[in-house]
Structure 1
Amino acid sequence: MNQFRRFLFQISLLVGLLAASNSSLGQIKLPAVIGSNMVLQQQSNVPIWGWANKNQKIQLSASWSNESFEVKANKLGKWMITIPTPEAGGPYSLTISADKKIVLSNVMIGEVWLCSGQSNMEMPFKGFNNQPVYGSNDYIAAGNNSSIRLFNMKNAFAEFPQEDCKGAWAVSSPEGVANFSAVAYSFAKYLQDKLGVPIGVINSTWGGTRVEAWMNKETLSEFGADMTVLGTDKMKFQSPTVLYNAMINPIIPFGIKGAIWYQGESNSNQPKGYTDLFAAMIKSWRGLWNQGDFPFYYVQICPMQNYGKTEGKNTAEIREAQLQTMKYVPNTGMVSTLDIGHQWMIHPPEKITIGKRLAYWALAKDYGFKGIQYGGPVYKSMEIEENKAYLKFDNAPLGLSNMGKELNDFLIAGEDKVFYPAKALIVLRKGLVVWSDEVKNPVAVRYGWSNWVVGSLFDTAGNPASSFRTDDWEK
């Protein structure tokens, strides 16, 4: 059955290519991601591509330049032109000509970001049923903003890589904001406010999906992934490679500044190996875009009590795997959400806060804003003095803070590996001291190591530390 489906796919592809090559109409077709109202990445060489007759000459001109460009479509009718863009501004127009002409209007030059992941990134400002986004009405009411452009991709999955998708660029409006990713729009709005340039966001998300669905077949094959469901009636949107095929491949190589990502809940049952999978996905996307190690900022999954319904499940382990990714993959950054989870909902309502925390990374690392703290404290080292553990942290330039909260959710253990609730105190020049009267000779400390926790450890700007542990014990 699988081979028969592949045969039909190949036949239909061949028929389509022959029809295109034999057409005498000279029509030009553009991918959905290239259209009126789009934002092109400023001060870069951006690809513009599409389809026409085989060997047909394509001409392109842009209203910001006196230069014109020409290319010939290949034997399959595909063509691509790379054009330089100026500093941020607009609106501009693009004219693409063969026997017929396409004019793209209201095009802006600015900063372009891809957002992807599962339902916490997909969640729109209007929320889900009985699940709100705090502050949504204010953002929706202020949604008319010609400097923010939104590309909302339709959900789709496919057995093979697709060349196009369904979606269209739109100028930000109240209705558009209500139906767009709350995290991504909050991120874009904060950047637009601070940078004063047009921002374009491409939303490619689908709830309930594993990281494997967003990876291409070549990358996944290195992990021995089971792909036997592809091309069968058992293939679903969570299947390996199918979202990469339908929702990532069609927008490559559209020029972007970077990507933001929020996913991990669907992989939380199998934390071992997630770091390697996630790192491989990032590396493969970067290779396919051929833009170098573009910025990739992501959100650590939130604590939630309901995870406890699964016996033996501790989502601190997937949070640890996400934290490790930042250490191993260059030009990445993680937002901790340890302080803003919801005890009973997998979709916490503090999406605006998450969007801003992602923007802190971009402003500090990519846009030259000095003095912004981002990411939160990251455990570095531990020293034992008598019955106390002294912990030091990276990425906390002005030290630690409890932000007025009681320091909670610390555990400490001796060589017997039995953990006890611990007290903690922030000590000037010594970092964090942790102890328990039950443990005379401590060897390990854990923080936030459970499904539900409300973070109490921050940098001095209010960015929370991730849950962490100093040990690598199995339990």
Structure 2
Amino acid sequence: MKILLILVSFALVHANGQELAEFRLASYYTNNMVLQMEPKSAVIWGYGQPDAEAVISYESNRLSTTIDANGEWSITLPPHPPSESIDFAVQQISSFGMVTIPLKAAFGDVWVCSGQSNMAMSLNLIYNASEEINKTIANYQHFRLRKVSRNTSLDVELDEATFNYDWTAPEEERVPNFSALCILFAERLSDAVNAAFPIGLIDATWPGTRIEAWSSSRVLEYCNTPLATNETNRNADSALWNAMIAPLTRTSVKGAIWLQGEQNIDYNEDYYACHILTLVNDWKRTFFQGELAGENGVAFPFGVVQNGPVWINYNYKWGDIRWHQTVDLGVLPNALLPDAFTAASYDLTDHLSPTGSIHPRDKQTVADRLANAARRLIYNENLSLYGPVPVSVDQLAADSRTITYDRNVKLVGAAGFAFQLPDGNYELSDVIASTANSVTVAVNSTAVQLLYAFSSYICEYKQCAVYSDDFENLPAQAWKWDL
């Protein structure tokens, strides 16, 4: 780092009485970082003296561009296979001389992990925390971690983000306070591909935040979102997009995972389906995508964890958000979001969580489910994209309905089914019978809708009614069916 500062200092000289602009990399780039590997193209950008030449040299490559009138430069690298650390020379060449910045970077996959408190929940707060921390440090030294500082910007999309620290390998000082789900998801992907190529993880999270704050003004305008009133700081419209996400989008990443929704209970919940649809597509368009669509045609995989449980007495608005998180189609991917994948977490009830039942400590199971869905979507592995979903609901008697699923299912418990009455109230529905791929439940003859997994609290830990009858043991998707 001392060498880097000495070299850069030569840029701050006077020639003919004119002070030269500092030549530097954008704040995203530090030694030990991961650049996105093939099939996408990585981008390196920064600032310097207008009209000077910016040059990047590494291996046998020499790429250059002219620094623009605003003092910015950007160079797109050719797609590169995964690699260990490579030495880059980043230079400014002008009539006043040459400035060189050395950069060490590897090529691998980069994931952005974003959302509110359940994504922010750190590794030291989950089940078996000490074991998980030690495992990450011992076995995943090919990971690189970066945490975006929690900042807001109300009026503009910032050019640069601020970070809590430079890119770093997993170490005792950083790992315990990093997003648990982010690390666990990456560990499972790394284990699955059986390769220790580098993985860069960006923790861009803030507890207690709404989707509107993470959305660009384009998203909010498209959805005709009511303007936030009396909101400042983290929940102001677009405040976190402007300060924490937009500055990351000038380079390329593999994709993103997202866990957010609790804060939108009773706040613009009817807009959530439009918000998540438009946010995903906006992030996909905005992050630099390089020259190729992506692996197996998946340009920007985006993982959505549906709302988990909380011990509130049967609040069905939680199910509304779960439904909206799939753009009201019940599953991801779907025709509207073909590059998205999902994981259910409503059955991971944790009454004794020190941070409240809204924060279940079992992030390992969430990571298992989310990573398996990603493996199916991205690598076409023989795994399920989501849990069982109904293909038909048949009336065999006035007071019952039979739900047929898209695969064989097993009954683990009895909780999860409910029906809505004409007055808008809900009642729980009892299981009457089951077969290999169907469940029959009791329903009031006046019911207008049958639902599953729509309540805030549904069942005790992994004891809901319907799971897939296979090794994945996936909980059925949250769904609703008009009667």
What is the TM-score with the length of structure 1 in the denominator?
A: 0.84
SS of match in other structure, 1:364: helix
1:290-309 alignment runs, 5 A limit: 290-291=288-289, 293-306=299-312
Aligned equivalents of 1:97, 1:33: Cα separation in 2 = 17
Relative distance call for 1:424 and 1:185 in structure 2 (3 A) is farther
Corresponding residue to 1:136 among 123, 126, 129: 129
For residues 7-55 of structure 1, give each alpha carbon's deviation from its aligned partner in whole angstroms, at most 9, with x where no partner exists.
xxxxxxxxxxxx9xx9644532222222211112222311111111112
Match of 1:453?
A: 458
Q: For the Cα contact (< 8 Å) 2:248–2:287, is it kept in 1? A: no
Aligned equivalents of 2:167, 2:313: Cα separation in 1 = 37
The residue identity in structure 2 corresponding to 1:452 is Y
Q: For the Cα contact (< 8 Å) 1:361–1:374, is it kept in 2? A: yes
SS of match in other structure, 1:146: coil
1:458, distance to aligned residue in structure 2 (A): 1.5
Tell me if 1:276 matches 2:274.
yes
Corresponding residue to 1:355 among 367, 390, 394: 367
For residues 96-138 of structure 1, give each alpha carbon's deviation from its aligned partner in whole angstroms, at most 9, with x where no partner exists.
0013111112x221111111101110111112xxxxx002111
Match of 1:10?
A: none
For residues 202-244 of structure 1, give each alpha carbon's deviation from its aligned partner in whole angstroms, at most 9, with x where no partner exists.
1111111100001112321233445577xxx962111101100
SS of match in other structure, 1:324: coil
Q: For the Cα contact (< 8 Å) 2:152–2:243, is it kept in 1? A: yes
1:433-444 alignment runs, 5 A limit: 433-436=439-442, 439=444, 444=449
Aligned equivalents of 2:410, 2:144: Cα separation in 1 = 38
Match of 1:407?
A: 414
Tell me if 1:320 matches 2:323.
yes
Aligned equivalents of 1:45, 1:176: Cα separation in 2 = 29
Aligned equivalents of 1:147, 1:273: Cα separation in 2 = 40
1:120-131 alignment runs, 5 A limit: 120-127=118-125
SS of match in other structure, 1:306: coil
Match of 2:238?
A: 241
Corresponding residue to 2:33 among 29, 33, 38: 38
Aligned equivalents of 2:386, 2:271: Cα separation in 1 = 23
The residue identity in structure 1 corresponding to 2:457 is W
SS of match in other structure, 1:352: helix
Tell me if 1:62 matches 2:58.
yes
Relative distance call for 1:366 and 1:234 in structure 2 (3 A) is closer
1:416, distance to aligned residue in structure 2 (A): 8.6
The residue identity in structure 1 corresponding to 2:160 is D
Unpaired segments of 5 or more residues in structure 1? 1-18, 128-132
Match of 2:4?
A: none
What is the TM-score with the length of structure 2 in the denominator?
A: 0.82
Match of 2:95?
A: none
The residue identity in structure 1 corresponding to 2:455 is S
SS of match in other structure, 1:95: strand
The residue identity in structure 1 corresponding to 2:282 is S
Aligned equivalents of 2:441, 2:286: Cα separation in 1 = 49
Aligned equivalents of 1:306, 1:413: Cα separation in 2 = 18
Match of 1:373?
A: 384
SS of match in other structure, 1:445: strand
Unpaired segments of 5 or more residues in structure 2? 1-13, 93-97, 294-298
The residue identity in structure 1 corresponding to 2:210 is R
Aligned equivalents of 1:448, 1:126: Cα separation in 2 = 29
Q: For the Cα contact (< 8 Å) 1:153–1:166, is it kept in 2? A: yes
Aligned equivalents of 1:357, 1:262: Cα separation in 2 = 13
Match of 2:99?
A: 100
1:350, distance to aligned residue in structure 2 (A): 0.7
1:356, distance to aligned residue in structure 2 (A): 2.1
SS of match in other structure, 2:27: coil
The residue identity in structure 2 corresponding to 1:164 is E
Corresponding residue to 2:248 among 247, 251, 276: 251
The residue identity in structure 2 corresponding to 1:248 is I
1:79-228 alignment runs, 5 A limit: 79-98=73-92, 99-105=98-104, 107-127=105-125, 133-144=126-137, 145-159=140-154, 160-167=156-163, 168-195=166-193, 196=195, 197-225=197-225, 227=227
The residue identity in structure 1 corresponding to 2:73 is W
1:415, distance to aligned residue in structure 2 (A): 7.7
Relative distance call for 1:61 and 1:407 in structure 2 (3 A) is same
1:345, distance to aligned residue in structure 2 (A): 1.6
Relative distance call for 1:265 and 1:345 in structure 2 (3 A) is same
The residue identity in structure 1 corresponding to 2:454 is W
Aligned equivalents of 1:302, 1:287: Cα separation in 2 = 29
1:321, distance to aligned residue in structure 2 (A): 1.2
1:353, distance to aligned residue in structure 2 (A): 1.6
Aligned equivalents of 1:470, 1:385: Cα separation in 2 = 16
Relative distance call for 1:68 and 1:134 in structure 2 (3 A) is same
Match of 1:288?
A: 286
Q: For the Cα contact (< 8 Å) 1:389–1:435, is it kept in 2? A: yes
- The more displaced of 445-454 and 147-156 is 445-454
The residue identity in structure 1 corresponding to 2:376 is A
The residue identity in structure 1 corresponding to 2:30 is G
Relative distance call for 1:272 and 1:234 in structure 2 (3 A) is closer
SS of match in other structure, 1:212: coil
Q: For the Cα contact (< 8 Å) 1:338–1:465, is it kept in 2? A: no
Q: For the Cα contact (< 8 Å) 2:42–2:78, is it kept in 1? A: yes
The residue identity in structure 1 corresponding to 2:304 is Y
For residues 335-361 of structure 1, give each alpha carbon's deviation from its aligned partner in whole angstroms, at most 9, with x where no partner exists.
101211334521110112212221112
Aligned equivalents of 1:171, 1:28: Cα separation in 2 = 27
Q: For the Cα contact (< 8 Å) 1:26–1:100, is it kept in 2? A: no
SS of match in other structure, 2:233: coil
Aligned equivalents of 1:358, 1:115: Cα separation in 2 = 13
Q: For the Cα contact (< 8 Å) 2:309–2:357, is it kept in 1? A: no
1:384-403 alignment runs, 5 A limit: 384-387=395-398, 388-394=400-406, 396=407, 399-402=408-411
Aligned equivalents of 2:380, 2:428: Cα separation in 1 = 44
For residues 355-384 of structure 1, give each alpha carbon's deviation from its aligned partner in whole angstroms, at most 9, with x where no partner exists.
222111221111232x22242123333122
1:142, distance to aligned residue in structure 2 (A): 2.2
